[in-house]
Amino acid sequence: MGEQRTVKFPQEVIDEYAALGVDLPALFSAGHLGNRMGVQIVEAAAERVVGTMPVEGNTQPYGLLHGGASAVLAETLGSVGSMLHGGVTKIAVGVDLNCTHHRGVRSGLVTGVATPVHRGRTTATYEIVITDERDKRVCTARLTCLLRDANPDGTTG
């Protein structure tokens, strides 16, 4: 599904993770499912996460973008924003996802933009707007993630 592009992280975020010995751009991905679906993260900060996904290969039997594919894109983008908001001491775990599908799309690339609705100490909620190549809204989603303490060994607290 194409080459993985380099994710654009704010320099201060890269520096924060680098101070802990973590190469954030090398570590980051859309996960196995996101990679299989061709999700590409093109911009990532706690204030805004942008990603794309091809329609081809992610359709339902009628040839339209599958609603579950939109949900995968939305949860990926919102989770990245939540993870960046939580910082190096937290991990983000999705606890609620709501998707409203506005129109079908049969081809091309869809783009999702995740922006925060709430960023607290224990939860983060993001609105994700997915549009087609004509900038028409395809889906509006809302994701809430629980921010759990991360232990030094990488397990959750």
- Given a contact cutoff of 8 angstroms between Cβ atoms, the answer to whether 112 and 128 are in contact is yes
As a whole number of angstroms, the distance between CA 68 and CA 130 comes to: 13
> What are the structure tokens assigned to 88, written together?
């190096």
- Length of the chain equals 157
What is the side-by-side strand order in the sheet with 90-101?
A: 40-45, 48-54, 109-119, 123-131, 137-149, 90-101
Secondary structure of the chain: what % helix, strand, coil (to 5)? 25, 40, 35
Known catalytic residue: 127? no
> What are the structure tokens assigned to 35, written together?
């990679």
- In the set 12, 16, 56, 75, the catalytic residue is 75
Catalogue the active-site residues. 75
